[in-house]
A and B are shown apart, each in its own frame.
Chain A
């Protein structure tokens, strides 16, 4: 892989051991994926919840953070994905002191490196939305697919170590979606129904993601004639990435690289597959549970936008959540702060619900929370969450936000 003078200095250790580790890591990953060189990136975003870091990962980050200030400092703005803990509420959720302590150590180490603890997976809605063509090193598959697809930026899925390496060097190996040739559509789908709410948009993403099923394929979607909102694209993208490991999609006439179908593929060589209303019904039927007691209703994955918080407040006004059911609304610190100022948090919590900030449900020791609270049946409008949470021992039910709220009040799946 070609290195310039500054990169060679990093590799020789002149700029300190953290930088040398970082560039060596990037050389290995770059060689694996045939990267010709490194591409400068403007921002890095790291997923490093302590559940996946474990003690070993925390020690690794602490090791980097122990170097002198000028060696450990990140070179570009670097922000964080949700943590595993909301320090105001972890005891109530059944999370332990040991979890909180691991979390505190991680935060201390990140802060020593100059990383901003934004604790969000909706940075594209709340912190600094990237521009078309901007090269990034973003973690969290939902963040990456949104920024690539909806904003036209360029990022691969950067796991924690690679995002850290990018932050320390300001670069990432040039492979995958940093190269225009890998952004052309290779699969084509025609949507034959109109999604009605966020869970439907997520389901569409889940159906397409499952059919594509590869990081190296790019779906283009036809049949969505007017641009849906940012939250709709957020749910669709997060679900597609979750079901198919897909990092980029195009929607003809909506996303920036696909003004027309011809702009992203040769239509005569790519036959369209239909996604029908019956596909949607079959997908939803996998996450049923009508009539069963609901233990916990979760709005999370991705974190809620301010507008989702408003919708939730309106649905909960003047109503009380059933005493045997918990309702959790998870959002970013930025949104939580605004929602508090605007009275939305108070309205949501007046129903007996809980607003959590800076975490995300599935990366917050979900299995331990289930055991501590006796939670089994989980209801949500997040398709990403229903895909993941079965692995943690929950029985997931998918429905609209409206029906999730109504079920939380009834104490059973309606």
Chain B
């Protein structure tokens, strides 16, 4: 097993760990999701059809209007939400939404593009208060050219 530590800006929300689901696409809580079923529903989204429930999500940036600030809270209360969301850069709306929902969220990674640093399937621990994300990955995968 191999562990990699990534430094990012201080985030919001609790310490969480889980399995990563990664895309270089962007994220809108309002337009990309079927929030009842817990899957990506917009056909053009790169994760269309996949479940985000309980995952550590990794995106490039956040899109969508002011309304999405309420949505993470609503998703979390229903238990149909990701555990954490990581971005290269997030906009104020979704950061505000994470603060309301008490959902882990971080962005601005020191080592570059987070959508390339983390791979789908990685075990990831997020410590928003410390600006620290730890990846645990089987060394076989590292040798495999990842």
| Chain A contacts to B: CB under 8 angstroms | 25, 28-29, 31-33, 47-49, 51-57, 60, 81, 139-141, 156-162, 175-176, 214-216, 241-242, 245, 363, 388, 391
Contact = CB atoms under 8 A, between A and B. Distances in A.
Contacts of A81: 66
B12 A32 contact: yes
Contacts of A52: 30, 67-68, 70-71
Contacts, number: 106
Interface stretch (B73-81, B110-118, B135-143): B73-81
A157 B92 contact: yes
A159 B68 contact: yes
Contacts of B89: 214, 216
Contacts of B97: 159, 161
Q: Place the interface of chain B in its size category.
A: 20 to 34
Nearest to B41: A391
Contacts of A60: 73, 100
B66 A139 contact: yes
A214 B92 CA distance: 11
Interface of B: 9-12, 30-31, 42, 61-71, 73-74, 77-78, 89, 91-93, 95-97, 99-100, 105
Contacts of B74: 53-57
> Interface residues of A: mostly helix, strand, loop or mixed?
helix
B31 A47 contact: no
Contacts of A51: 67
Contacts of B100: 25, 60, 161
12 contacts: A28-B12, A29-B96, A47-B67, A52-B68, A53-B70, A55-B74, A57-B73, A141-B65, A159-B66, A159-B69, A160-B66, A391-B31
A391 B77 CA distance: 24
Contact of B70 (A25, A28, A48, A141): A48
Given A29-B96, A56-B74, A160 B10 contact: no
A54 B10 CA distance: 29
Contact of A28 (B63, B91, B92, B99): B99
